[in-house]
Chain A
Amino acid sequence: MSNTIRKISIPVISVLLGIIVGTIIMLVSGYDPAAAYIALWNGAFGEVYFVGEVVRQITPLILAGLAVAFAFRTGLFNIGVEGQLIVGWLAAVWVGVAFDLPKIIHLPLAVLAGAAAGALWAFVPGFLKARFRVHEVIVSIMMNYIALHVSNYLIRNVLTEKADRTENIPASASLRSDFLSSMTDYSRLHWGILIALGCVLIMWLILQKTVKGYELKAVGFNQHASQYAGMNVNRNIVLSMVISGAFAGLAGTMEGLGTFEYVSNKAGFTGVGFDGIAVALLGANGPLGIVFAAALFGFLKVGALNMPLEAGVPNEMVDIIIALIVFFVAANYMIRIFLEKLSKNKSKKGEK
C-alpha cells in the first residue's frame, strides 16, 4: 500500500466507523437511522439554500483548522483559537461600525483588524512560552476566558450602551454579497469562503516554499538543532503563534463581517475554535486535508438542523458522530494495526 493511500485511509475509515457506531447508537435509542441520514443529507443538500449555508459554515471552520494546524506543524499546540476568534470577531465589527469609509478601504481594514486582534491575542502565550517557558496550552486556555469576558464587557460598555449586541455593520464593511445570496435562495453565504481558501494557499506557501516556513518547521521539530544552526528559536515560537492567531482572528472576522454582520454578548464559547482542533486532526494538519475536514463538519453541522424536523432525531446525534470520528482519528493506531494485518494477509496469499 502506498503511503498516500495509507494517509488518506485513516480519516476515511474513521469517518465510516463514526457513522457505523452512530447508527448503532441510534438503533439502540430507538431512532430510525435511515431516516436520520436522509434528513441529514436533505438538510445540507436538499435545497440550494442549505448548500449556501453549508459553505458559510465551512468558512470559519477552515480558518480555525488552519490556525490549529499551523501552530501544530511548527511544534506548538494552540488551544486558544476560540479566544483569538472572539477577539477577531470583536475587532472586525468594531472597525466596521466605528468608521465610515469607502468599501475598498473599509472592508480590508476591518478584515485586517480581525486578523491583527487574533494575532495579538496569540502573541501573549507565544511570548510567555519564548521568554519564560510557560506552556502555551495553559496560557492559551486562560486567554480564551479573558477573550470571552473582555469582549462581552466591551460590547456592553464601550460599543453600545448596555445593549446585548452592536448595530449592524454598514455595507461598506460587509462580506455579504447580494449575488451569492440570491444565487443560493437568500442564504447567508458571503465572500469569506474566498478569504478562507486564500489562507489555505498562504499556509501551504509559507510552510512549503518559504525560508521562514523552513525555519518555523525546523524549530518545531528540533529546537536544539535549530539553535545550533543559528536560528532564533524564541522569535520563531512567537511568530508561529502570531500567524496561527491571525488565522483564528480571521475565522472570527468571517462571523462578524459575513454571517452575522454584528457582534453580540456571548453566554459561552462559540465552539468553532474548538472544532478547529478536530478539523486539523481529521485533516492531518495539511492544507488540503483541512478543507475536506471542514467541508465534512460543515455539512454535518448544517444538515443536523434538519434532523429533528424531518426525522424526529435530535440534532445532538450529529455531535456524537463528530465526537466518534475525532475519537477514531485520535485512536488511529488501532486502524493502522488493522490495515497492516490486512496487507500482510494479502501478501501472504499472494505468495501462495
Chain B
Amino acid sequence: MEYVIEMLNIRKEFPGIVANNNITLQVKKGEIHALLGENGAGKSTLMNVLFGLYQPERGEIKARGKVVNISNPNVANDLGIGMVHQHFMLIDTFTVTENIILGKETVSKGKIDLKKAENEVREISERYGLAVDPKAKISDISVGMQQRVEILKTLYRGAEILIFDEPTAVLTPQEITELIAIFRTLIKEGKSIILITHKLKEIMEVCDRVTVIRKGEGIGTYDVSGTNPTELANLMVGREVTFKTDKKASHPKETVLEISDLTVKDTRGVPVVNSLNLNVRAGEVVGIAGVDGNGQSELIEAITGLIKKDNGSIKLNGKELSVLTPRKITESGIGHIPQDRHKHGLVLDFPIGQNMVLQTYYKQPFSKAGFLNKREIDLKAKTLIEEYDVRTPGAHTPARALSGGNQQKAIIGREVDRNPDLLIAAQPTRGLDVGAIEFIHKRLIEQRDKGKAVLLISFELEEILNVSDRIAVIFEGNIIAEVDPKNTTEQELGLLMAGSKDKKVGVEKNV
C-alpha cells in the first residue's frame, strides 16, 4: 500500500528539550490516522514540522514516495497538506466565502469575483455534504459550522491530506456525530485524514490506524481493530490507567447546598434558570447533566454571587447566599473550579505561585498590614505544586507558560486546599488527557469521602456517569429529572438531556 505522506525518524529539538525524538508517522491514502498522545507529548510539534513551521534536526519527510523539503507552509499547501486548527482562524465580520478565499482571491479586472467564489464554495460544500451557506457571516453561525468553514478552506486550497487538531473539543455531541459523517465522506472522496486527539473513544469509532507518541518518543503504530482503549491509554500514559473511577458507595449526610425555586433572567428578561430546585448533601457528588446552554453557567454564577437572581433562594448550610458579595460567598465555604480556566480561573500573566492565593492573598499569613508576604505565598505555592503534581519549572513561572492540564491542576489544588464545604467543578477535565482526568476525578471523590459536597457540571456523559452519586438533568433552566447513575445509561441520559421528560417512552422509541 502506498503512503501519501511519511515522516520518518523525525527529531526536533528546542533549546533544552527534545520535543520529538525518532517519531515515524506513515499515512496511507484514504485512511483516518490518529495521532495519540498526552498534552505536551509533542503532537503539535510534529504537525508543525509537517506543516513547514519547524525544520526537523533529523529524519525525512516523503510525499507519495518522494523525499520533500517542507521549508514553509506554502510548500505544505502545494503538497496538498491542509490543517484545521483547534482555535479557528476566521474573521468574524466576513462571510463564509470571504474567509475561504482570503489570500487566494479570484480576481477579475482588479475586483474580487465573489459570485464565482461563492459558487465554487457552494459546489465543494455540497460535494462533501458540509451544508455551509457561502453567504452567511461567521459571527452568525455555530461553532460546528465554523469548523466546517475551516474544512472548506483547506479543500478550496486543494488539500489531499487534512490534519485535524482536537476537532471535537469544541463541539456538542450532535455536532461530533455530524463531523464523523463528514470524515467518512472525505475518505470516500479519496482524501486522507490525520486526527490529533487524546480521546480514545473517537479513535475506536472512526480511525483505521493510530500512532502513539509519549513524551516526544514514537511508541508505535497500531491497527485500531487490533487494539482496545485500555491498551491505547496504557501506551499513551506509559502505565496502567483505570477508566472507572474507584469509589465506595456514598454516605450522604446533611444538606449543604439548598436551592429552591431559583430563577435567573438574562439581559433580555428571558428566564435562563427557571424555578430550579436542587439539593447537594455532604458526602455526595451531584452531577448536572445537560447540553451546553441550558442554564448551567447561570446556575453556577448565581450560586457564586457573580450574577443576581430574580427569584428563589440559595442556601449554604442554612445561610442565604444570594445577599452576599462574591468574596463573602467564597469565604462562607465554596470552592469553584470554573469552566473557562483562562478567563475565570487564572490571571495568566501572574506567576503560577501568585495564582495559588487568588482568593486568600489578603489574609494571614499571605499578607500582613496591607503588605504581601512573598515567602509565605511561595511556600504555599510550592506545597500545592508538589501535592497536586503541577509540572512547572517553578512557582515564579507565568501561569500562561503551563500546559492546560497543569493549569487545571493548579486551580484544583487552590480550590480544594481552602477546604470548602461545597466544591463546584464545572467541566473540570475539558481538553485534558486521560492521565490528568484520572487525577482530577480521584480528587473530586476524595473531597466527597472527606464529607464535603461536590457539584459537578459537565457536558461529558461519561464523566457524569463515572463520578456522580446522583445525576440531575438540566433542560432549559430547570432540573427535569434525577437519576441514579448505577441504573441509567448514556442513551437514557442523552434523551433526558434533549428534553424528553418521560424517559420510559423515550427509551422505547429509541429501541
Distance in angstroms from A6 CB to nearest chain B CB is 14
**Contact A230–B343 (Cβ < 8 Å):** no
Please tell me if the beta carbons of A228 and B348 are within 8 angstroms of each other in the complex: no
Measured between C-beta atoms, what is the minimum distance from A56 to chain B in Å?
A: 34
Q: Is the interface of A mostly helix, strand, loop or mixed?
A: helix
The answer to whether A222 and B327 have CB atoms under 8 Å apart is no
Selected from A210, A217, A221, A230, the residue in CB contact (under 8 A) with B326 is A230
A214 within 8 A of B: yes
A227 touches B306 (CB 8 A): yes
Complex Cα distance, B346 from A218, in Å, reads 9
Residues of A within 8 A of B350 (CB): 217-218, 221
**Complex: chain B residue closest to A222, CB-CB:** B347
Q: Which of chain A's residues have a CB closer than 8 A to the CB of B99?
A: none
Q: How far is the CB of A213 from chain B (nearest CB, A)?
A: 8
CA of A221 to CA of B351, assembled, Å: 12
Q: Convert B245-282 into 0s and 1s, putting 1 for each residue whose CB lies closer than 8 angstroms to a CB of A.
A: 00000000000000000000000000000000000000
**Contact in complex: B338, A228 (CB < 8 Å):** yes
Structural contact, B349 and A221, CB atoms closer than 8 A: yes
Partner of B372, one of A210, A222, A232: A210
B336–A210 CB distance below 8 A: no
A211 B348 Cβ-Cβ under 8 A? no
| Neighbouring B residues of A212 by C-beta, 8 Å | 370
Q: Is the CB of A225 within 8 A of B327?
A: no
B372 touching A225 by the CB < 8 A rule? Answer: no
Residues on A with beta carbons closer than 8 Å to the beta carbon of B343? 222, 224-225
| Residues on the B chain within 8 Å of A218, using CB | 347, 350, 358
Q: Which residue of A lies closest to B362 (CB)?
A: A211
- Knowing A225-B358, A229-B358, A230-B359, the reply to whether A209 touches B327 (Cβ < 8 A) is no
Residues of A199-220 contacting chain B, CB below 8 A: 209-215, 217-218
B39 at the binding interface (Cβ < 8 Å): no
What residue of chain A has the Cβ atom nearest to residue B361's Cβ? A214
Inside 8 A of A311's CB, which chain B residues have their CB? none
Taking the nearest CB of chain B, how far is it from the CB of A130, in angstroms? 16
Chain B CB within 8 A of A226 CB: yes
Which of A210, A212, A213, A224 has the largest number of chain B CB atoms within 10 A?
A: A224
Question: Given A214-B361, A228-B306, A221–B372 Cβ distance below 8 Å?
Answer: no
Q: How far is the CB of B254 from chain A (nearest CB, A)?
A: 26
B347, A228: Cβ atoms under 8 Å? no
Select one of B328, B347, B362, B367 contacting A225, CB under 8 A: B347
Q: Are B326 and A225 in contact (CB under 8 A)?
A: no
A284 contacts chain B at the CB level, 8 A cutoff: no
Contact across chains for A228 and B372 when beta carbons are under 8 A apart? no
With contacts A214-B361, A217-B350 known, is A225 near B371, CB below 8 A? no
Q: Is the CB of B362 within 8 A of A229?
A: no
Please indicate the chain B residues that have their CB under 8 angstroms from the CB of A213 in the complex.
372
- Does B177 count as interface, using CB distance less than 8 angstroms? no
What does the 1/0 interface line of B168-209 toward A look like (CB < 8 Å)?
Answer: 000000000000000000000000000000000000000000
CB-defined contacts of A226 to chain B, threshold 8 Å: 347
Instruction: Tell me the bound Cα distance from A227 to B345 in angstroms.
Output: 10
- Bound form: Cα–Cα A232–B331 in Å: 15
A305 interface residue per 8 A CB criterion = no
- Tell me which residues across on chain A come within 8 A of B296, comparing CB atoms: none
A215 to B359, alpha carbons, bound, how many Å?
A: 10
Q: How many angstroms between the C-alpha atoms of A230 and B359 in the bound complex?
A: 7
Least distance between B112 CB and chain A CB atoms (Å): 30
The residues of B that contact A209 with a CB separation of less than 8 Å are 371-372
Judging by beta carbons under 8 Å apart, are B327 and A231 in contact?
A: yes
The count of residues in chain B whose C-beta lies closer than 8 Å to any C-beta of chain A is 28
Answer whether residue B325 sits at the interface, using C-beta atoms and an 8 A cutoff: yes
CA distance A218 to B362 in the complex (A): 13
- The B303-333 residues at the A interface (CB cut-off 8 A) are 304, 306, 325-331
B354 at the interface (CB under 8 A from A): yes
Closest B residue by C-beta to A226? B347
- Report the minimum CB–CB distance from A246 to chain B (whole Å): 18
Contacts A211-B361, A211-B362 known; A228 to B371 CB distance under 8 Å?
Answer: no
Residue of B nearest to A228 (CB): B344
Q: Complex formed: what's the CA distance from A215 to B363 in Å? A: 13
Interface centre among B345, B347, B354 (most CB of A within 10 A): B347
Q: List residues of chain A with CB within 8 A of the CB of B372.
A: 209-211, 213-214
**How many angstroms between the C-alpha atoms of A211 and B362 in the bound complex?**
6
Interface string of A220-253 (1 = CB under 8 A from B): 0110111111111000000000000000000000
Instruction: Give which listed residue, A210, A228, A231, contacts B304 with CB less than 8 A.
Output: A228
A230 touches B330 (CB 8 A): yes
CB nearest neighbor in B for A229 = B358
> Does A230 contact B347, Cβ atoms closer than 8 Å?
no
The CA of A308 and the CA of B330, in the complex, are separated in Å by 66
In the complex, the answer to whether B336 meets A228 with C-beta atoms within 8 Å is yes
- Which B residues between 433 and 475 are near A, CB-CB below 8 angstroms? none
- Interchain CA distance A229-B370 in the complex, whole Å: 18
> Taking the nearest CB of chain B, how far is it from the CB of A143, in angstroms?
29
A271 to chain B minimum Cβ distance, whole angstroms, is 32
A59-95 CB mask vs B (1 if < 8 Å, else 0) is 0000000000000000000000000000000000000
Q: Whole-angstrom distance between the alpha carbons of A168 and B338 in the complex?
A: 60
Interface residues of B in 349-376 (CB under 8 A from A): 349-350, 354, 358-359, 361-362, 367, 370-372
Q: Which of B304, B325, B330, B354 interacts with A214 by CB under 8 Å?
A: B354
Check A225–B345 contact: CB distance below 8 A: yes
Question: Are B344's CB and A225's CB within 8 A?
Answer: yes
A228 to B361, CA, bound (A): 14
> How many Å lie between the Cα of A221 and that of B399 in the bound state?
12
A221-B349, A222-B347 known; A211-B371 Cβ under 8 A: yes
Looking at B325, B328, B358, the one whose CB has the most chain A CB atoms below 10 A away is B358
CB distance from B331 to the nearest CB of A (A): 8
| Closest B residue to A212 using CB positions | B370
> In B43-63, which residues have CB < 8 Å from any A CB?
none
Task: Give min CB distance, A226 to chain B, whole Å.
Answer: 7
Interface residues of B (CB under 8 A from A): 304, 306, 325-331, 336, 338, 343-350, 354, 358-359, 361-362, 367, 370-372
Instruction: List 18 A-B residue pairs with CB atoms under 8 Å apart, sorted by A's residue number.
Output: A209-B371, A210-B371, A210-B372, A211-B361, A211-B371, A213-B372, A218-B347, A218-B350, A218-B358, A221-B347, A221-B348, A228-B306, A228-B326, A229-B330, A230-B325, A230-B331, A231-B327, A232-B325
10 additional contacts (CB under 8 A) given A210-B372, A218-B358, A230-B331 = A210-B370, A211-B362, A212-B370, A214-B354, A214-B361, A218-B350, A222-B343, A222-B347, A229-B358, A231-B327
Closest 9 CB pairs of A and B: A230-B327, A229-B358, A221-B349, A230-B326, A228-B344, A222-B347, A211-B367, A221-B347, A229-B359
